[in-house]
């Protein structure tokens, strides 16, 4: 049985920190599916189609990486794609507390799917999509902080 991990998120936009976690996780999993979540109650800066394409363009040389969009519960999406692992990156202790609660609830919903945490590489700890969106909104150059495939207008 192959080890498939889902790396879920909104990726609005994908950051160099996300890219780092995904790339490093390829040593642990046979396949990593980047799941771009679509939450109708959330306002995104970039359209879903752009976010999906940017991730695909950031991983063109990696056959182990697949990009799919989804809505609904992450745990249900894992079942549909046969992922037995959820991969989450942690930058700070606050990230851990937030992610721990979600991981425990997901475990309650399906104890056959494990959440795996990967610490951010130190140089990427301050990078977040929220900060990048703020840089973009205020006319700054966010290019050094996003995945290679991201084409900011």
Q: Which residues are catalytic?
A: 18, 42, 91, 129
For 23-52, b/e burial (b = at least 16 CB within 10 A) is eebbeebebbbbbbbeeeeeeeebebebbb
The answer to whether 48 and 69 are in contact (CB under 8 A) is yes
- Reference 12, options 43, 57, 33; nearest CA is 43
The answer to whether 103 and 86 are in contact (CB under 8 A) is yes
Burial zone of 2 (CB within 10 Å; 0-12 exposed, 13-18 middle, 19+ buried): exposed
The answer to whether 89 and 128 are in contact (CB under 8 A) is no
The answer to whether 10 and 51 are in contact (CB under 8 A) is yes
């Amino acid at each position: 049985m192959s080890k498939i991990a889902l790396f879920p998120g909104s990726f609005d936009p994908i950051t160099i920190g996300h890219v780092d976690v995904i790339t490093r996780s390829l040593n642990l999993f046979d396949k990593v599916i980047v799941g771009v979540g679509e939450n109708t109650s959330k306002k995104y800066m970039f359209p879903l189609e752009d976010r999906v394409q940017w991730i695909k363009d950031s991983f063109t040389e990696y056959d182990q990486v697949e990009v799919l969009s989804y809505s609904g519960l992450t745990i249900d999406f894992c079942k549909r794609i046969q992922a037995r692992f959820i991969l989450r990156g942690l930058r700070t202790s606050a990230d851990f507390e937030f992610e721990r609660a979600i991981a425990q609830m997901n475990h309650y919903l399906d104890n056959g799917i494990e959440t795996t945490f990967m610490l951010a590489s130190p140089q990427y700890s301050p990078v977040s999509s929220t900060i990048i969106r703020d840089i973009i909104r205020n006319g700054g150059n966010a290019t050094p902080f996003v995945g290679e495939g991201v084409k900011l207008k």
